[in-house]
């Protein structure tokens, strides 16, 4: 029989060897890729942007591409069909919104906090009617968030989508966006919610206190989404939401008589590849 001390040493050596083998055989966590390229496509019953319809009851086909670097830097482009520029008589021919954006997104510590800063350019190809200001817009944005909720501020560097309600430029317009997508356990379902506020610069509220914030408004939405977990359509997102705002209809009713700011329900499907 070996001395107790020898037995303990042998056991310790055996444990160390077994642990080393186990560590060597255990699969390592996959490294974060340095470069990531994704594509997305979606079909919506109506395109709603900041509480306002862009397609006047008609469906929208949307999609884009995104590049992300492991440092947090990203670039992307996205497009959707629209009708609002023609519906309001601003353009005689225009049916596309094409966006270009880039920024930097990174975690703050290790508790789920993050920040996101960048710039976004909205491009509207088409033919403007005489005297109409170009609807193309350029915004800077910054956001801070935690896991499933974020607060974002967007600041317009030029006329807000060509709007000049009092004849003065609307650069400096701000949009505040509080959004959340709260997962319901591991079910694949999530509650989606949003509250936003548009503060339009030079919209006449200062010269006429009785119509304070007459072009600006607050909008909100609430809904439910579901991501398919397995199968041939794994990752497909299906959702529905209800949206409304307190925008004054006289400023958001197009030439066809459609109030683009009214409450409505939206259903959609989308997929990221």
Torsion region of 108: left, alpha or beta (phi above 0 gives left; psi -120 to 50 gives alpha): beta
Tell me the domain boundaries of the chain.
34-272
Q: Tell me which residue of 168, 264, 152 sits closest to 215, measured CA to CA.
A: 168
Higher pLDDT, 193 or 21: 193
Whether CATH 2.40.160.40 fits 34-272: yes
What are 154-201's pLDDT values in tens digits? 999 999 999 988 888 999 999 999 999 999 999 999 999 999 999 999
CA distance 70 to 122: 26
Would the pTM count as exceeding 0.75? Answer: yes
What are 93-136's pLDDT values in tens digits? 999 999 999 999 999 988 999 999 999 999 999 999 999 999 99
CA distance 268 to 149: 21
Query: pLDDT category, 220, cuts 50, 70, 90?
Result: very high
Least confident window among 206-215, 242-251, 253-262: 206-215
End-to-end CA distance of the chain, in Å? 65
> Is pLDDT of 12 > 70?
no
- Beta-strand pair 137-146/48-49: unpaired
pLDDT score of 6: 36
Report in angstroms the alpha-carbon separations of 18 from 2, 27, 202, 258.
21, 16, 73, 73
Query: pLDDT category, 206, cuts 50, 70, 90?
Result: low
pLDDT score of 214: 77
Least confident window among 24-38, 165-179, 232-246: 24-38
């Amino acid at each position: 029989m070996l001395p107790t001390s020898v037995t303990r040493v042998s056991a310790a050596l055996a444990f160390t060897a077994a642990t080393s083998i186990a560590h060597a055989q255990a699969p390592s966590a996959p490294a974060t890729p340095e470069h990531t390229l994704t594509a997305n496509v979606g079909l919506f019953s109506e395109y709603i942007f900041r509480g306002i319809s862009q397609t006047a009851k008609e469906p929208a086909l949307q999609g884009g591409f995104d590049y992300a670097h492991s440092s947090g830097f990203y670039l992307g482009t996205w497009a959707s069909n629209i009708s609002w520029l023609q519906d309001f008589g601003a353009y005689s021919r225009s049916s596309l919104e094409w966006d270009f954006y880039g920024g930097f997104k990174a975690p703050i510590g290790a508790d789920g906090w993050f920040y996101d800063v960048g710039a976004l350019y909205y491009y509207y190809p088409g033919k403007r009617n005489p005297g109409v200001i170009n609807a193309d817009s350029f915004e800077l944005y910054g956001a801070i968030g935690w896991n499933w909720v974020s607060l974002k501020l967007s600041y317009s560097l030029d006329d807000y989508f060509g709007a000049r309600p009092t004849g003065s430029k609307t650069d400096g317009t701000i949009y505040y966006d509080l959004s959340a997508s709260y997962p319901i356990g591991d079910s694949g379902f999530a509650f989606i919610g949003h509250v936003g506020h548009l503060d339009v610069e030079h919209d006449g509220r200062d010269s006429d206190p009785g119509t304070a914030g007459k072009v600006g408004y607050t909008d909100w939405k609430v809904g439910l989404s579901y991501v398919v977990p397995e199968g041939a359509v794994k990752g497909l997102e299906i959702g529905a939401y209800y949206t409304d705002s307190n925008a004054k209809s006289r400023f958001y009713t197009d030439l066809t008589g459609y109030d683009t700011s009214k409450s409505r329900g939206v259903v959609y499907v989308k997929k990221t590849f």
